[in-house]
Chain A
């Protein structure tokens, strides 16, 4: 392990520790819920950073996997509630409104919470893998891959809205039970949920970091920089891309599940174009080639958005400022704030090394003179 990797791990660990310690200094249920929501969006940014920053796949439909995870969790939590109209073992309320006679087959396994949690990761992974297989085996790259992911997301969203009887349509799935593990219930407005999100965030961050440092991760980065050359070396380029795309889908799916737990509902807007493009902004601003940068970008931008949109003067101009900031970052900081920090740090490092070399040379010259002066 190189010294640079060690520093990186140390920085990541310090940031995660700081995030975990927040509830000790903050005793406000509403704020904790808000911060937990930001952290979930930070996980989504990590997912996009993996595929966009490290593999060069601009996924304009990152919210698809996020939304699929969110719906899986919502389905499981919905079945844990006791329906108002039909009593226990009855149908969820929106199915009753839509005259559904019995629970559709694909809802039944969600009676088991562990199935729901597993599905919340596996279904997004499956979706990402299939879409990746479809695109990358056909060598769809760059702009076209971006458009394909965007179109695929809109298709999934339209289907969910259209199949109102099975998905709740526009309204999404609401009135959910609390998520609980072995009898311990996670209240959306309590510190427990914050810790759950923070731990998941830390885990995804380090898993993602480990992947980028692994051999597969290095090949993926090589593909980003020069796809044809890697192909000529005999690597199966599509396979590596599908792999990283699926990992990104898994993290987004996990984030989606947590989002449902924090927000206490699932909605087709979770798979919408606005949220997908927001993630792109956060990652671009934070720095797409740094997992931590992307995550902090999400926290800072959503935090700013939350703060500014509450004040009267900024309510309208916020979007304008956001757009301007985004264009400026794309133009002048293509690697985001993290990239800029890295460049500056690199410059200092070089200066330090040069200075050390110079002082060594001075030492050497000094010693030589000393030797000369000996009789």
Chain B
């Protein structure tokens, strides 16, 4: 088992090198997808033994470094996230082959393959490292591989800027993680996670560090700045892997810290909940007003991280009062991690297909692709329904769990603590609002890209090849299957959630999850019945229309018989109500001129929503840092006599200190 697990990781790194060595030749294109598929197949047995049988795979060898050791372990929590990686990674690799083909750039293709596999391998290592030093090492491999993917199209200036922002963000996060691990390691005398159990009594100091460190990777609101920059810049399969899986390592880190802590103070739950509400609402409001498809998806990732955090928050809060609520919400958060990976990776792939065939990702220049790219259009439709958490697709299952847990907190029962009830109250209202606005974002995304008239001549000619459609469709089908088999996935996620719980768990704690899972059978049942009813109505419709005149004509335009694509509603107009309602939050800069006079000339409208945090927090912060650093530069003007003086001063200082 351990051998298979290590082989599966090693294969990623080997295929990365393989992609470099053979990538210039045509068969090299197959190395990356094949090895990813093989890797996932190798991981099947270990995953089954961990997730289904509850065994723990552990492998440890000392290494040459003075600190740490090569200690790898896969338990339930790691296994769950490895499962996510193993599902998404092959699809991404296969898609990448199609996405990079006929770009006439085999060199870049081979490098992209290299970094893609390094990223997958790095994520894998992060998930199974059971030693602080090894963890940080893997964390850096993962972060740097992602950086090079963001820089894929480096000749364009905005991409270099995106890469730069990402680099700063990720290293700010890593700095906090270093601090956290060294605090823990110094106290415990070892970096092995086993010896850090209970967080050495520094739990309340470690937790905020973990939130900032892991939050920078997961894109919590305030630490999310790199997401909307980096995802559009990376090649689409890179964004799919980053947004689908890499971002989840941040969530994994938070969960790992929770699992290591022996008990969870209440304020952790509140912190997670408030962060979740902020990320959810902030992410979704920004998402609605984006013009660029991939930026919209990136902000939507922030929003979904918010939903996951709300689940974690209720989970941690609920644990203090009533175990069942905690387990249900945790299960919901974990399940939403899996689901979000599937549909977000699929959505990025669909967006990549659109960008590749239509040549732009700007929604105000797209439209009508449903007719030229039917397969991509249908897949995107299903993925939109999933991401909005609509039944019967998989997004609904995770949200259903988190909602149910929140509802359980307000219903009087074993616990009637006011604090917990307020928590549930906040969770329900924000989840509902986030859900509604997310629907708006995706109505816009799908409607503007795939429906109506094409808004520019450069719109797509045809569906991309099957090597791009197949991986996307397979994720789409997974979304439907996991949604219809929601009861099973609830039980799966539930068993992982119980493993994270700090309490000593008996088998009895699974009963609330079993109840929810049983309740969900009704949802699947109703879905099937409604599918049948819909099919019957569709048939009825066809039969009634069979012998009548059904003709085509122009749509109603108030008597104006010559509508053009330019007169269509654009994405910007569609999101105007949200734009207006959240004006004070978005702080957009709007410039433009209305048509005036009897013979109006051209009019212009331009809105820039760069985000509040850029302008009001990070701008001033980095400005101050620059000032301070600029002052410090004066100490270092290059004159030798100054340095001699420094040496002398240091000597004197040391002398004085030793004479104390």
Binding between chains A and B: no
